[in-house]
Amino acid sequence: MDYATIKHIHLGAVALSALGFAARAIASLQGATWVQARPAKILPHIVDTVLLASALTLAWMLHLDPAQTPWLLAKILGLLAYIGLGMLALRPRLSRPSRGAFAGAALLVLAWIASVAVLKNPWGFIHLL
């Protein structure tokens, strides 16, 4: 596959992952039981696997090394923060206010990651403030 196709797959997976997380977080805060059902737990892993595979493919195609590309390293570190915050946001044992705060923080980190990707700047939208 060519670069443009991989990039479109990646962007589509980003959108699906973000929308899926937002939907699960909102539903979880509203007490919906489907959030704990097997499909709601498996589908995000499939989408995120496509997302990660496409990201790695793009980095390989562009010969990007995170150690030499600060914005890419920032995205990777942001991804780890997003995953951790997202896990906490969906943890049913935590209080609703805590889960809401973690979900909001996760979505803010996700927006920052997107801004890092678009601006190719490790500070993302922060450098615009």
| Overall domain count for the chain | 1
63: left (phi over 0), alpha (psi -120 to 50) or beta: left
In this predicted model, what pLDDT tens digit does every residue of 11-34 receive, in sequence order?
Answer: 999 999 999 999 999 999 999 999
Q: Which two tokens stand for residue 104?
A: 């909001």
Q: If pLDDT is split at 50, 70 and 90, which confidence band does 128 have?
A: confident
Q: The domain containing residue 47 runs over which residues?
A: 3-128
Cβ 116 vs Cβ 71: under 8 Å? yes
Q: If pLDDT is split at 50, 70 and 90, which confidence band does 9 have?
A: very high
DSSP state of 92: T
> How many C-beta neighbours within 10 Å does residue 45 have?
9
**Helix, strand, coil content of the chain in percent (nearest 5):** 80, 0, 20
